[in-house]
Structures are given as C-alpha cells and as structure tokens.
Amino acid sequence: MCHKRGVKVFITLNTLYKNNELKELLSTAKKYYEMGADAFIVQDMGFFLLSKKFFPDIEIHCSTQMTIHNTEAAVFFDKSGADRVVLSRELSLEEIKDVTSHINCDTECFVHGALCVSYSGRCLMSSFFGGRSGNRGRCAQPCRMEYTLLKNGNAVKSGYLLSPRDISTVDITSKLIDAGIYSFKIEGRMKSPEYVAQTVSSYRKAIDGETPKKEDILELMQVFNRGGNSTHGYYDCFAGNNMLSPSPKSSGVRAGTVISADKKGCVIKTDIALHCGDGIEIWNKKRSNTGCGISSELKKGDTLRLDVYGEKGSPVYRSFDKMLNDKLKKMSVRPTKRQTVQAEFTALSNKPMRLVLKLEKDIEITGDIPCAAQNKPMTAEDIISRLEKTGDTPFIFDFVKTEIDNGLFIPVSALNRLKRDAAEAAEKYIVENSKRKAGNIELSLPSNTLTRPQKLSVFVENISQLTTVLAHSPSRIYTELNEDTIDGILSCIDTAHKNGIQLFAALPRISRNDYSKAIEKLVNILETTDIDGYLLRNYPPLKTDKQLMYDYCFNTFNSVAAQYFKNVTLSPELNLKELKQLSGDDTEIVVYGNTVLMSTHQCPAGNATGNKKGRFCSEKGNCDSYALKDRTGAVMPVMTHCRSCTAFILNSAPVFLAHRFKEIAAVGAEYMRLDFTVETAEQTKNILETYIKAFSGESVSPPDTPHTGGHYFRGVQ
C-alpha cells in the first residue's frame, strides 16, 4: 500500500537482541527485506553488522537509542556505512548544523511528541525498577511518576520532577530545515489515528511552506500535549523547568476558569467556545482533577454551572474536542496520499489507444480503437481531463506528451478501462519491483573463552576514592576524567604502576561537542604519559596506541557485538546464563555499584533549587548531597557533573554480590568490576576489602544495608 503511493517504509528493529534471539531476528528481517522494506532502524551494534553482511542493499538507520549526540559519533557511523543517523533529542540547532555539515548520510530528528528525560539508550530505570527494559521497547515510564527531591536528606520539592512536556516545533519548521535536518520524526507510538492524522498533516503543510496559524497550533495541542503547553524541546533551550510538565497526562487546551464553587458544584467561565460533546477537566490543587461532558453550546465568555467538584481559581481544560475529532476521523478513514506519475497518451484513427506510465520501466497499456465522431467530436482536452480523473487509485497522472487525432469519439467506458488497467499494471509493477531476494543466511556466532586468570577492576568517580583504591592493588582502576581529576590522575600513574595496577582514564558518559573539545585537551595531556588506557562511553574509539575498554553503556547484548568491541563491559541487563555466552578474555562485568539509571540535562537539583533556565544554575559546583525519593520510599542518589551540566540518577541500592562470588565468577569474564560513585573513602575501602576477601575464596556475608542482585538472577523482558 505504501509503495504504491510513493511512501517509504522503515522497519523498527531498534532494540537489543540476545544470542538466542538472533536467528529469529534475521528470519524476521529477511521477510521484511524480501517484501521490499526501505530501511531497518537499528540500535544493536551486533544487528548493525549483521544487516550490513546479509542485507547489503537496504538502508540502515541508526536509532536515537544509539545515543549519537556529537559530531564525531555521527561521522563514525557515516563512515561505518549508516545511511541515516537519528540524533539524540538533546541537541541544539547549532549542534545539528555542525553534525550535518560533516557527514554525507541523512540526519533525522524528533520534531513532535513525547520527550524522554534521559538520553535514549542510556535509561535503565524501567529495567531496574521492574524488569521492563526501555532498551527492549518495554519502558514502563517511571519518569512519569511523582518524586521528592532531597537536599542533604531534607525534602525541598515534590512533583513530576522527571516528566517533560511534549515537543512541538511546527512553528519553527524553517529553522529545522535550515539546520540541515533531512527527515522529521513524529513520535506516534500508541497514539490514536486521529493524532497521527493531525500531526502528519500539520507538518506536511509546514514543510511545504505554509505558515502555521494559531488555530493549527491549538489543534496540535488539543490532540495531545502534557501539562497544558508544549515546548521546542532542546532545539533552543539547554534544559530547565519550562520543559517540565505539571502532569504526565494529556491536558488538551485551556478552556476557562472556575469563578465560584460550593458544596454542590462550581461555575466556570469559558476562554474559548465549547460545543455539545466536548469534554472538560478541572485541574484542582487540593483534590484530584474532575471532569465532565458538555451538553450545550457555549461562546467565549459564557458561564456554566457544573455539578462537579471544582476549586475557585482552578484552570479548566478542554480534554476532548468533538468537532475536531469528527474531522480527523474522516481524514483517517482511508489513505489520501498519491504519487504523481508522468504519462503519455496516443489516440489515432484506426489504431488502438496507447497509455504509457513512466516509471523505472515504462508501463504501456493499449485500449480500444477510436472511431470517427458522428456528431460532436471529443476535444483533446476532454479526453485528457477524463484520463486525469484517477479516483481512488494511488496515482496522479501528469500527461507530458499527447498525440490525439481530431474528430474522434471514444466511449467514456473505454477511457475508464484504459486508465484502470494502466493503474493496476503500475501497482503490480511497483510492488514486484520493490521486492528482493536475500541470499543464504548462515548465522555462526563467535565464541570467546577465558584463558587468563580472573581479575578485580575498580571504577572511581573522584581522587579521594582513587587514592583509597591504590592502596589495595586491584588489577585495573578506571578514574573519571574531567578538569577536577586530571591532576590527581597524573600524580597517581607512577604509584599505580609500582603497585602493579593498570590505570585507565574514564571518558565522559555524555560528551556534547563543546565538552568533548575540553576533554580532548585532557586526553592530549594523558597521551604524553604512561597511562595504560581509556574507558570509552561514546563512539567513536580514540585514535591511540593505548588500551581501550568499552563501558556497559554500549549495551553489548550478544556475541556479535562483543566480538566487535573486543574489550567490553557487558550489559548489566543480562543474567548469568546470558552473560556466560558472551564472556571470556577481555570481557568485564560490574559486580558492585549503584547503577546509573538515567543521564539527563534536566538536573533535578538545578531545576528545583538552582533556578535553572538553561545551561548551569546557582547550584553549580556545590557540595550538597541530592537524591530523589519515589513513592515506595526508595532514595536514588543524584550525581551532578556540573561542568557538562549533566545529572546522573543512580539506583537506590547498589548491586552487591560478594556473598555469591563463586556463582558470579563462573560466568567466565576476565574482569569483575566494582563501581564507586557516591561512596566515601571509608565506604570504598570497606567494600573493596570485602570483595578482595571473596575473590581470594573467603566466605563473606551480605550487608545489612539495602542491596540488589541487579539482573544477574533475573534478566529483562
């Protein structure tokens, strides 16, 4: 249906795949490939490589789940054979301009719909809260719940602190085009056909140069928006409270205000006209929202008595627009998109009519032989006018060449039959021409075995933790690299080597263009030293002779991806059985630490207490302790990296597995890693000593404090 109408179809295979799913994945991909799908959208690096191998002439689009958020990463995938990159939602227009000026492949960006508060591909909150992985398309949206921000243990703000408003950019479409964005992506998953009809038609008109009217923007807001307003997202704002919604639910548009209230109900005054069949909702402050249907026609400024609870001064929203919904239902009943096809028509005396449609291959249909007119002959304009009426076919015929004798008569039925036969032949050709035949697909998974002694590795966030860990001689230490840690790293290289420890610098989890340049200067300093290597968190790999280790944020889920990265920390979403299939030399698993659940510029501390209105806030660089408490009472530390204006929300309880160390070691990874983030030097020392005991074979007890086994004994859906 789509190809007949000149519409491309991209298949979203942009989740992560386990080893035991790859065979079925390739079978599914083969089916869509042979049907003629135009592109696969992918997240999994393993599937990216398999697609290039088995399906060489289909486009590969890198999903936003790949967290491509700087120019270097986009260039890397461009050179790796990607046909399109879907950039992280967090990029500004200026950053997108820089990306598009450096790559040959297409760029795609989100222009309308839901915003994730965390970088896509870097969110594990739903996964760790309930086993529903956002990396597997099953996000339960815990970000849409209420939280309380704690500052040094004291509550300072409560509400929907992680729930962004929806993005709507129809009024800045020209700016997005000027930035070089090739494709506009509308978030429409689990939305109604009416929503899709409204959003797609609005952006189609805007792309074609039609300036959106106020009514158009209100209609977009009416079909779905969170919090009574929308935002341009990150295109013209780094972050801030203006991007957060007071409610995670769709609100519709502001319709009025409660002007009086009593025990029996309330009276509202309208800001807009309301019609019979509309629905309204009153946003109360003291009690939950209330709503009802409208059974009469109301003009702007009218008042209406309602027998529902309402608080004086509360805003009233039209949650359902009956007239708009009816209009959109008609729009979404059948496809209206058609493609224009150049056509040629010949009608000569005593010869069959000839209609040619100019596709990749000419489609030629012959019809009846015209006869001489007995009375009034048909004009050429009459004949072409009838042939141009293509009805419900997928085509618009654009006649570029005609040859029609004078004085002819052609029955209308003969013209209709000719154009119908031509349209049917064109449809058949388009469908058949888009199909492909895949070659043999023989999946042979690479294997890896452990041939070396197992070792302890440690990640530390600060120099205090680093100096503590140095005294206990793990095999390898990764230290967060930034302006605050560079001097400490430089001073510890010799000590580490004297103690038989490899020292790696951990590059930033999030590295926007400007911040990556600052980090590049630090890396250039380290390149002149004897530092052993780098822990990578973003594409592309560094150009260096030193060792590289890929962190778990690369979401390595299968053996194909593991072989590609070679030195890699495996995904924390895999269980023991799944990890064992991937483990061996140069692989690593995290056996202790508060897992990073979210990476966000919507810093809860900055938004709630720092008057954050963009990049940086009044809380920048302070030493206060921040955390988020959820409705169950769980407290999640908030780790702020103020120089990059990024916050990392950690799991409330650390993964702790020292008391089950033999089971974990049996996975067969070469390195077992401890992650220290918010721990004090004393806590770091105690935990490391416990794991050293477990590593040496001593029996240890689980801690009395809250802890978790992560996904080691459950995995994700």
pLDDT tens by residue, 469-524: 999 999 999 999 999 999 999 999 999 999 999 999 999 999 999 999 999 999 99
CA 331 to chain CA mean position, Å:
28
Whole-angstrom Cα distance, residue 362 to residue 438?
26
pLDDT tens by residue, 122-136: 999 999 999 999 999
Angle at 227 between CA 226 and CA 231, to 5 degrees: 70
Whole-angstrom Cα distance, residue 532 to residue 484?
20
Confidence tier at 261 by pLDDT (50, 70, 90): very high
Mean pLDDT of the chain: 96
pTM comes to 0.94
Residue burial 44-81, b: 16+ Cβ < 10 Å; e: rest = bbbbbbbbeebbeebbbbbbbbbbbbbbbbbbbbbebe
Percent residues over pLDDT 90 in the chain: 94
What mean pLDDT do residues 639-656 have? 96
What mean pLDDT do residues 705-715 have? 96
pLDDT tens by residue, 403-444: 999 999 999 999 999 999 999 999 999 999 999 999 999 999
| pLDDT surpassing 90 at residue 464 | yes
| pLDDT surpassing 90 at residue 453 | yes
- DSSP 8-class letter at 377: P
Angle at 165 between CA 163 and CA 170, to 5 degrees: 155
| pLDDT surpassing 90 at residue 277 | yes
**Structure confidence at residue 717 (pLDDT):** 83
Confidence tier at 376 by pLDDT (50, 70, 90): confident
Percent residues over pLDDT 70 in the chain: 100
Nearest Cα neighbor of 251 from 288, 271, 223 is: 223
| pLDDT surpassing 90 at residue 227 | no
| pLDDT surpassing 90 at residue 623 | no
**Structure confidence at residue 622 (pLDDT):** 84
CB 350 within 8 Å of CB 302: no
| pLDDT surpassing 90 at residue 294 | yes
Whole-angstrom Cα distance, residue 356 to residue 227?
54
What mean pLDDT do residues 445-463 have? 97
Rama region for 284: left / alpha / beta (φ>0; ψ in -120 to 50; rest): beta
Does a cis peptide bond (omega within 30 degrees of 0) precede residue 540? Answer: yes
**Structure confidence at residue 560 (pLDDT):** 98
Whole-angstrom Cα distance, residue 82 to residue 104?
10
Burial class (CB in 10 A: 0-12, 13-18, 19+), 295: exposed
**Which CB contacts under 8 angstroms, 24+ apart, belong to 369-378?**
370/405, 370/408, 370/409, 370/410, 371/408, 371/409, 372/407, 372/408, 372/409, 373/407, 373/408, 373/409, 374/409, 377/406, 377/407, 377/408, 377/409, 378/408, 378/409, 378/410
The answer to which of 72-76, 609-613, 680-684, 703-707 has the lowest mean pLDDT is 609-613
What is the full DSSP assignment across 437-456?
---------------S--EE
CB 549 within 8 Å of CB 588: yes
Confidence tier at 229 by pLDDT (50, 70, 90): confident
**Structure confidence at residue 232 (pLDDT):** 96
* 617 or 177: which leads in pLDDT: 177
